[in-house]
Amino acid sequence: MNFRAVIRVVYALFGVLYLLVGIGAMVLPLGWVSASWVGPDAVQYETAAPESYLNHLTQEFGTLAIAVAFAFLWQASRSQPSRSLHWLLTLYLMLDSLIHWVGPQGLIGSLQRGVTNSIPPLLFLILGLLDRRSAGRGLDARAGAGAPDVDPLGRIPSRALERDRAE
């Protein structure tokens, strides 16, 4: 299994995880899922009125999580994932991690949540740097003859196709 395949598996796992979280957030306020599955902090969902703003925000979070899941799954389906989208997803994960370090509870709301939510952006940072390094050295199994020229931002420069050349 080459390095790109490992990256695609990571994208697929995150895509499935975010899809499940998004669907769960969409159906939790509807009462289709027991709030006890979420934990003791979720008792507010059982006592909240159906039209409460908390329920609305939870469902909106679910739609955003599903959108991020689609981005992860799209990357997983690509034979050559977009490096630009990889760095954008890494930035998203960093921002998501940041709110678990600095939030309403102060500088560190929960050390366990901060550390746990810092793992995905660190993983994506490491994968992105290793991918960039392997592409620069031609370590990827598909690099070489016939592989597209890709700049450090993941863009492929446009060039004339063979059949479009004037003879």
27-37 pLDDT tens trace: 887 777 766 66
Distance CA 144, CA 58 (A): 47
pLDDT value of residue 127: 92
Distance CA 116, CA 118 (A): 5
pLDDT value of residue 151: 59
Kindly report the pTM of this predicted structure: 0.69
pLDDT value of residue 118: 92
Q: Is 38 exposed, middle or buried (CB count within 10 Å of its CB: 0-12, 13-18, 19+)?
A: middle
Low-confidence ranges of the chain (pLDDT < 50): 139-146, 160, 163-167
